[in-house]
Homo-oligomer: A and B are copies of this chain.
Amino acid sequence: MITLDEATIRGLVGLGADELNAIEAVYPLIASGAASMPPIQRIDVPEHHGEIDIKSAYLPGVDGIAVKVSAGFFDNPQIGLPSLGGLMLVFSSTTGVPEAVLLDNGYLTNIRTALAGAVAAKHLSRPDAATVGVIGAGVQARLQIEALRLVRPITHVRVWARRADAAGELAEGVRDDTGLDVSVVKRPADVAVDGGIVVTTTPAMEPLLDGTVRRNGLHVTAVGSDAEHKQELSVDLVAAADRFVCDSRAQSERLGELRAPREAGRPVDGVELGDVISGSAAGRSHPDDVTICDLTGTGAQDTAIASLVVARSRSTS
């Protein structure tokens, strides 16, 4: 069994075309039922404001099975430790033998989440989408911008975050790194332009975007909500989309943006991203459509990216 640390893992996978293909390939397996992806296992640790989540999946044709253990302990900063941590185990999908411990500190989750945003945009946004607006100014906001450049001719970036200084720092960093035209906007809805892309990347518990964000031909990807108490998009916005797509309907209804509409008595009929990718469900059917994709994050993505790490580690050693 090999153990890889974060620096090694960073050297093996990133936001590249092969990684994008690996993540794109998982969604049809989820939608068709070929993937074996059990519900997330969650261990609550109320005494220490902590929780541990476990995601896993088997994907036919992929060599490894990842078991990802994510820890969130929210008193940790008081003693100088990060709130979030975790690791992945990889088992052989043909024998069950443990093959690797990936001490990635969340890096692989960040990468596979950003790539999922690119996959969603590839299949739902307008091909000529050149402006991306991001809500939030953390690591994921930056990675989403970078990943979208794999699939769309991005030239302009708009940023809104609750903390204006954080938005400014992100804007400056992206501008320096990419030379793109980056601006900070005053209100969340200002990140949207006709024919553009918006990505929400926050742990918000109240919607940050409502119907006022609608622009002709807009595509919105919601990345933040992955728990029963989180929500980034208003019920009005979700209900008014011309097409609502999600990575996993079961998860979106429980943990994602399909939850609030259902609880409000206005259930929305989502299709799964894999059905759009495989062509068995329609995606965008008109240039002026407003499309939404809700990404709750799946064990299938973890299995795909972790298996790629193990394969590359072997071929380089």
A residues bordering B, Cβ < 8 Å? Answer: 1, 3, 36-39, 41-48, 50, 52, 54, 56-58, 60, 65, 67, 69, 71-73, 76, 79, 81, 85-87, 89, 91, 93-98, 101, 103
Kindly identify which residue among B48, B81, B94 contacts A48, using a CB–CB cutoff of 8 Å: B94
Copies of this chain present in the complex amount to: 2
Interface of chain A, main secondary structure: strand
Name 11 A/B residue pairs within 8 A (Cβ), A-sorted. A39-B39, A41-B41, A43-B57, A48-B93, A52-B96, A71-B96, A71-B97, A73-B94, A85-B97, A86-B96, A87-B98
Shortest beta-carbon distance, A251 to chain B, in Å?
Answer: 14
Given the known inter-chain contacts A71-B97, A85-B96, A101-B101, please indicate yes or no for A42 contacting B50, CB distance below 8 A: no
Bound-state CA distance A94–B73 (Å) is 8
Q: Which residue of B lies closest to A46 (CB)?
A: B36
Contact B69 A89 (CB under 8 A): yes
Contacts of A101 in B (CB 8 A): 101
In the complex, what distance in Å separates the CA atom of A39 from the CA atom of B40?
10
List 5 A-B pairs, minimum CB-CB distance, nearest first.
Answer: A71-B96, A73-B96, A41-B41, A36-B44, A38-B41
When the two chains form the complex, which single residue of B3, B65, B72, B73 contacts A52, counting CB atoms closer than 8 Å? B65
